[in-house]
Amino acid sequence: MTKNKGFLFINKPKNWTSFDVVNKVKHLLKFKKLGHLGTLDPMATGVLIITIGKATKLFDFLQKKKKTYIAKFEFGYSTDTLDSTGRVVDRIDKIPTIEEIENVIPKFIGEINQIPPKYSAKSIDGKRAYDLARQNIDFELKPKLVNIYDTKLLKYENNVMTMKIICGSGTYIRAIGRDMANALNSCATMTELVRTNIGKVSIDDCLSLDKLDENNIQNFIVPINEFLDCPILNLSIKDGQKLLNGQSVLVDTKDGEYKYNLHDDTLALIKVSDFRAKMMIYLGD
């Protein structure tokens, strides 16, 4: 019998869309209610978390997790997609030095305004930006405030810089390369991207799709209780039932987010504020 809620940690292969991976897992599980956390472009590889059943309801909560990427950017040319899959639209002789790169990095740490790439899934009057871009329709994308927690230069040789970037949701790594190059009076294109972490889930925890089949895939489903790293809220059966019925209950614990379990099954995500607990998301069957 299919486990009806939980997570799968997949190492997304290159040239697969995130949607392709979800469809593959649907086929193997014979289960329709699936989603994923954090889209990866087809050229990118790395951590893709597949949500199963009620776990899909945790999307907004889990999107707050920090994400870590290793990205390569080559200076000297840029493409319309800002990565190596696109058409070259500009070339420049200016190649920055390692000292210039290190000096500009601090500008790309913290809250920054970032203009998304035109080849992105952003919605413009009900249409995807990448569809408009492919039709050569001119449009503007508004800057968006994103959080970049750390940016570090790992390597620089043959005009290619390798960066480690830790950021919040909604950040476009391609756009960081574009903006950093612009700040250096140059241009650059992302040639490789690997997502190594989403929160506590690392690429070492992830499965290769070619290792999964209909007979073994259920063995790798991680229960919600094991995945959520928030503490358990201990309640009496009576108060637990009230909570699941949508009522708030008094508790003697500090403010924060908790999970309410029954027999190791997480039934709800709870918010505690001013000693009062209230259900945020129902996760029971």
41 as an active site residue: the answer is: yes
Give the residue ranges of DSSP H helices in the chain. Answer: 18-29, 59-62, 98-104, 129-134, 173-183, 224-227, 237-244
Distances (CA, A) of 189 to 48, 91, 170, 177, 195: 23, 10, 19, 7, 17
Cβ-contact 196, 46 below 8 angstroms: yes
Q: Catalytic residue among 20, 41, 150, 210, which? A: 41
Distances (CA, A) of 70 to 86, 188, 191: 20, 16, 11
Q: 218 by DSSP, 3-state: which?
A: helix
**Cα angle 244, 245, 249; round to 5:** 75
SS3 of 247-279: the string is CCEECCCCCEEEEEEECCEEEEEEEEECCEEEE
Mind telling me the catalytic residues? 41
